Structure 1
Amino acid sequence: MSMYVLGIHVGHDSNVALVKDGIVVADIAEERLRGVKHFSETPSLGLEWCLREAGISMEDVDIIAVVSLDTLNSQPYFVKTLGLDKERLNPKHAYIEPPTYIKSYQISKGTELVHVDHHLAHAASAYFTSGYNDKCLIITADGIGDSVSLAVWRGEDGGIEPLMKVGAEGSLGWFYGAVTEALGWWVGDGEGKTMGLAPYGNTKGMEGIFDSIIPHYENGRLIKGHNFGDPCYWQSGGSFHWHLRDSEYVKGLVDKYGRENIAAEAQWALEEEMLKIILPWLEREGVNKFCCSGGVFLNIKLNQRVWESKRLDHQHIFPNAGDGGLGVGAALYAYYHTTSEEGIKPISHIYWGPAYLNHEIEEILKARNIPHRFCDDISLKCAQLLAAGKILGWFQGRMESGPRALGNRSILIDPRKAENKDIINKRVKFREPFRPFCPSLPLEAADKYLENWRMERYMITSFNGKEETRGEIPAVVHVDKTLRPQIVERSENEKFWSLLTEFGELTGTPVLLNTSFNIKGEPIVCSPRDAIRCFYDTGMDYLALGDFLISKDGRC
């Protein structure tokens, strides 16, 4: 009989995941169903979708694993919908109760409720998806979670053992967040912009400018912490926005040194401090296998520095490394902690979200009187359009988990023209012109374009581009000559692999610029309706919905 484990995270990037016999079968961030980026309230729609996707009821769930200490007793929704004893509810929330039309569930008497610490859930998301069945090092790092900002763990024989935990005073995530806020961006969202801006800057003459606000590490240990104070937060439209007091100090530095240079120095400082943690612990543990999670590890340049340290034979970053991956981590930890199953199963994709069949898509198109055309070979037709210079929305199969577009909810264009980067930023994404884009390419072509590469399916690590081929794909080569690739295997996404291959046969370049199917400030699209709205609100030329093609002029 199968074992089902639900993982639930409420907070920044609220999400729900469902694990069946150790395999993730459903995972979704509530933002995708609500249309509110980084939605931080109760993931009620995600809970309902996960159960429906698996074809089970709440009574079939063996374990409910929740992240963070007060999730259950501070959430009136769970008290009602899961039929919990109201005495569990924090008295200050007792007056809040969902209305009768909010769906309730009957849990089995045998269903176990488990709490999983925030950083333990991060560690589990990395370890239990790595496939590492011998000893490895695990590090988790973010702003803060359950009073921990960074933790070091040993993964071995299916168990996770804590080796070191650091509180708020050692938060490198908060340091980088303060810089991000000072640059004018959302903490917990805009750090990728800081990272993208950094290569445009110069750190000359800036050594030590952050010494008073960055935690300092040596030989794997915190040697000088920093009092960040209590971060303030502002809740707006269903999401949290944080204010870190050090951002005021950094704003003064921005005025003095310039935005690009501040970003460059912050990136360098983050990488240096993280290497002072990671490398000594690899040495201490005597391992060359490393897995990690937490929002700090969404920093692809840091991940490249770790890989290029030459201390690793194996590196696994959980693709949904931020808080959006906590539901998966909690569910996997509860499963492996409860069962006696041997062997850690690796993941080879994260297509764990909703899918829509052709007949469902056609019904939506017909109901809206949208002209469309069915294509026997949608990959070939779209490759021809891309080769002709068109901008394509690509909506296929199950939605990706995490913040990256991996070929199922993507916006695509030919990378051979440098100006296409600016076109997408200006006409489609409506975002800052300096921000780079990622290439997707088939596994067979990786060696042609990437130096010192390893398998990278998830755009979570950058690599240097090969000098002899960088000029062929200028729209996806960043100013520092790096690329953040998605390497596509035919066995994991045949339709997208076919699109890349067909484009390569037409142009000689089997690479596409691939960015997430959304505009700045909005979540990646989830449903065909989301995709249609985004298509008509941007400068895209064509939209492939399943095997149907739509064009702005109605002539497909």
Structure 2
Amino acid sequence: MNVLGIHDGRDPCVALLRDGVLTRIGFEADYSDEPFEVSGFPARALDQILAIERLRPDSIDVVAYAGLTLPVPRSRRELLQQFAESGTFRGATRRLWRVAVAFGEPVVSRRERLAPLEKAGLRADRSTFIDHHLAQAALAAAGVRSPDGRVLVLVCEGSGDSMCASVHVSRGGRLDRVATIPADSSLGNFVETVTYLLGMVPERDEPLLMELGSMAQGPQLAKVLKRLSILFEFDPLLPLNWRRTGNMPETGNCVEFLRSHLRRRRFDHIAGATRLFPQDFLAQWIDRCALKTACENVALTGSVFGLRSLYPALARGDHVRTLGISPIPTDAGNAAGAAIMAVAEKFGVEHVLPLGQPWLGADASESECADFARAEQQAGDVWVDRPDDVEARTAELVAGGALLGRIRGRVDLSRSGFGNRSLLGRGDLPEVRRAAAQLLRPDVFWLEVPAAVLDSELDSLFEDAEKVPRSMQGEYWLTPRRNMGWPMTMSSSGAVPVQVTVQAADPATAAVIKAFRKTMGRTPLLCAPWLTRRGVLVRGLADAKESWRDQGLDGVVAGPFVIMRKSGVEGGRPKAAELARRPFFGGL
């Protein structure tokens, strides 16, 4: 039983389920020179998955498309143009034309969506279309475990199939929809509009806006927050729904309204209010839904809940026991969700196996790592070592002040690194933190770099970790305890990003964390995603070879091998004590 899931919107991807198990997922952005401009059918990712899995097109039983309808694919450039035309004569003319034409705004027909499928040799008569929000909810429900088998799944995003938010209850794998909220009251579109008004890029920079808002202070912040709070309210007749109030227009077309509504307000106060209002409003919504549905275990998904810095506020509800986030809360996860829903509909929910830990694809073999180490040694200016305990050696070098790229194990589902495709460094060294942040986003000075922790040490290190699901990998924002050696953050809330590692799922990364703890105590172990110069995750040794020297890293851990840049002092090996005395060994 081979089922393909396809998401052909922005950030397209394809997922493969074999006998109910999520086996492979491919993102079209990994094969593009402009990954942030990709939209449409994931043709290259599909060809790559079929080739790796050695599947013939006729061996695919079902092809599940995410989304009953698909708006015209837009690149980020076209999205910015749409925001720029809002409030102009040209923009008003386009909106009137859409109203005059039947069926509203233009969408891609199903015939057009199936055309690339037939070019790839797959049969269109084996295709099915899955509701956008059901696809998102299916992936979130598959990634959360509940003692009683009931999970409350909440979706909140910009828009999808004419909805911006929905409430689902999963019972033994069966999803029942409880409530929906129309797209004209979208909080996601509202946040995107404010992002555009503050000079950032919508659908990309919302996490940066939330981090910037966490630094806002002053008496004027409350006034701006009040101006935003009056724009939305909960429906008194439908307690799980919300709606727009007053003269607030559709959130997808509110650029001019918000420009006037927030006139003469400082940018940091606007960012702070844009963070405080959604987090407080959504925290109430989550608690309402948990109370009305009598579900204590909640899973969140959607682009708004993908803003992980809101997690501490969202977890304050009295009626929520555990609060998890989908492995891929954005639209890119719809491919896997559509495949899961297709298996459940055509073969039964008993054929859908739990998602388990988010590791997909093949590991780099020892022979490939040896070839990589040999090639780097021939290139010069490095020394290569194969220690008996590579995890302990990695922790020793990081404790000495080195910034290392680590490529070991399999790639994670969410493209967050989780230690296997990550940059590792000491969190108490400002130079290392700054270097890691610059490699993530060189144009942002307030970016916080995540740290790696074990799920068994969450309660001892953080104040608000009691609702984080245990035994599951994930990334959350949590508040460190006072006695933890965490450097001062710029955020007024004090929360920091952490990547939770489960020892049973990834014993190698867990061994690095334990060895680092043994040496450095509670000092944070930075664990940032290792990105290429194109901005996509380093997946293989070829990407690592192209990146690590240009990025100025001190070394690379490739499987059992450690490749370190020579110190330049007598051409010898750098020692941990030498590294600790230098501001930043290797430099940028």
Normalising by structure 1, we get a TM-score of 0.84
Q: Which residue of 2 aligns with 1:300?
A: 308
Deviations 1:140-195 (A, max 9, x none): 11111122111112222322122222222110001111122222222111111011
Residue identity in the other structure for 2:136: H
514-523 or 278-287, larger mean C-alpha shift: 514-523
Q: CA deviation at 1:440?
A: 0.5
Residue identity in the other structure for 2:226: G
The answer on whether the counterparts of 2:5 and 2:14 sit within 8 Å (CA) in structure 1 is yes
Residue identity in the other structure for 2:2: Y
The answer on whether the counterparts of 1:196 and 1:434 sit within 8 Å (CA) in structure 2 is yes
Q: Which residue of 2 aligns with 1:86?
A: none
Q: Secondary structure at 1:194's aligned position in 2?
A: helix
Q: Aligned ranges for residues 338-487 of structure 1 at < 5 Å?
A: 338-342=346-350, 345-353=353-361, 355-364=363-372, 369-371=378-380, 373-376=384-387, 377-426=389-438, 429-453=441-465, 454-455=468-469, 457-469=472-484, 472-474=485-487, 478-487=491-500
Q: Which residue of 2 aligns with 1:210?
A: 228
Matches of 1:337 and 1:520, distance apart in 2: 41
Between structure 1 and structure 2, the one with the greater Rg is 2
Matches of 1:53 and 1:186, distance apart in 2: 35
The answer on whether the counterparts of 1:420 and 1:475 sit within 8 Å (CA) in structure 2 is no
Residues 1:222 and 2:242 are matched in the alignment: yes
Q: CA deviation at 1:326?
A: 0.8
Q: CA deviation at 1:320?
A: 0.8
Q: CA deviation at 1:327?
A: 0.8
Q: CA deviation at 1:391?
A: 0.8
The answer on whether the counterparts of 1:136 and 1:156 sit within 8 Å (CA) in structure 2 is yes
Deviations 1:209-239 (A, max 9, x none): 2257x5433432224264337x6xxxxxxxx
Q: Secondary structure at 2:128's aligned position in 1?
A: strand
The answer on whether the counterparts of 1:294 and 1:323 sit within 8 Å (CA) in structure 2 is yes
Residue identity in the other structure for 2:393: K
Deviations 1:516-542 (A, max 9, x none): 112687122222222222222323211
The answer on whether the counterparts of 1:501 and 1:510 sit within 8 Å (CA) in structure 2 is no
Q: CA deviation at 1:317?
A: 1.6
Q: 2:547 aligns with which of 518, 534, 553?
A: 534
Q: 1:388 to 1:255 in 2, by over 3 A?
A: farther
Q: 1:546 to 1:250 in 2, by over 3 A?
A: farther
Q: Secondary structure at 2:428's aligned position in 1?
A: coil
Residues 1:171 and 2:191 are matched in the alignment: no
Q: CA deviation at 1:349?
A: 2.0
Q: 1:252 to 1:223 in 2, by over 3 A?
A: closer
Q: 1:32 to 1:478 in 2, by over 3 A?
A: farther
Q: 2:505 aligns with which of 464, 485, 492?
A: 492
The answer on whether the counterparts of 1:391 and 1:540 sit within 8 Å (CA) in structure 2 is yes
Matches of 2:386 and 2:258, distance apart in 1: 54
Q: CA deviation at 1:485?
A: 1.9
The answer on whether the counterparts of 2:473 and 2:502 sit within 8 Å (CA) in structure 1 is no
Matches of 2:50 and 2:402, distance apart in 1: 39
The answer on whether the counterparts of 1:430 and 1:519 sit within 8 Å (CA) in structure 2 is no
The answer on whether the counterparts of 1:440 and 1:487 sit within 8 Å (CA) in structure 2 is yes
Q: Secondary structure at 1:295's aligned position in 2?
A: coil
Q: Which residue of 1 aligns with 2:323?
A: 315
Matches of 2:296 and 2:173, distance apart in 1: 17
Residue identity in the other structure for 1:386: V
Q: Aligned ranges for residues 88-107 of structure 1 at < 5 Å?
A: 105-107=120-122
Fraction of identical pairs, as percent? 20
Q: 1:450 to 1:347 in 2, by over 3 A?
A: farther
Q: Which residue of 2 aligns with 1:84?
A: none
Residues 1:280 and 2:297 are matched in the alignment: no
The answer on whether the counterparts of 1:319 and 1:402 sit within 8 Å (CA) in structure 2 is yes
Residue identity in the other structure for 2:526: L
Residue identity in the other structure for 1:169: D
Residue identity in the other structure for 2:158: G
Q: 1:266 to 1:49 in 2, by over 3 A?
A: same
Deviations 1:27-80 (A, max 9, x none): 122212335334323212221232344343332222111112356999xxxxxx
16-25 or 369-378, larger mean C-alpha shift: 369-378
The answer on whether the counterparts of 2:164 and 2:181 sit within 8 Å (CA) in structure 1 is yes
The answer on whether the counterparts of 1:16 and 1:328 sit within 8 Å (CA) in structure 2 is yes
Residue identity in the other structure for 1:166: I
Q: CA deviation at 1:308?
A: 2.1
Q: CA deviation at 1:338?
A: 2.1
The answer on whether the counterparts of 2:462 and 2:478 sit within 8 Å (CA) in structure 1 is yes
Q: Which residue of 2 aligns with 1:9?
A: 7
Please list every run of 5 or more consecutive structure 2 residues that lacks an aligned counterpart in the other structure: 74-107, 574-588
Q: Which residue of 1 aligns with 2:89?
A: none
The answer on whether the counterparts of 1:65 and 1:114 sit within 8 Å (CA) in structure 2 is yes
Residues 1:337 and 2:312 are matched in the alignment: no
RMSD: 3.3
The answer on whether the counterparts of 2:323 and 2:469 sit within 8 Å (CA) in structure 1 is no
Residue identity in the other structure for 1:373: V
Q: CA deviation at 1:259?
A: 2.7
Q: 1:91 to 1:223 in 2, by over 3 A?
A: closer
Q: 1:141 aligns with which of 147, 151, 156?
A: 156
The answer on whether the counterparts of 2:373 and 2:563 sit within 8 Å (CA) in structure 1 is no
Q: Which residue of 2 aligns with 1:187?
A: 202
Matches of 1:294 and 1:19, distance apart in 2: 22
Q: 1:63 to 1:477 in 2, by over 3 A?
A: farther
Q: CA deviation at 1:425?
A: 2.5
Residue identity in the other structure for 1:447: D
Matches of 2:169 and 2:266, distance apart in 1: 41
Q: 1:199 to 1:402 in 2, by over 3 A?
A: same
Residue identity in the other structure for 1:550: I
Q: CA deviation at 1:134?
A: 3.0
The answer on whether the counterparts of 1:425 and 1:431 sit within 8 Å (CA) in structure 2 is no
Q: Which residue of 1 aligns with 2:537?
A: 524
Q: Secondary structure at 1:390's aligned position in 2?
A: coil
Q: 1:35 to 1:355 in 2, by over 3 A?
A: farther
Q: Secondary structure at 1:333's aligned position in 2?
A: helix
Q: Secondary structure at 2:226's aligned position in 1?
A: coil
439-448 or 134-143, larger mean C-alpha shift: 439-448
Q: 2:518 aligns with which of 496, 505, 508?
A: 505
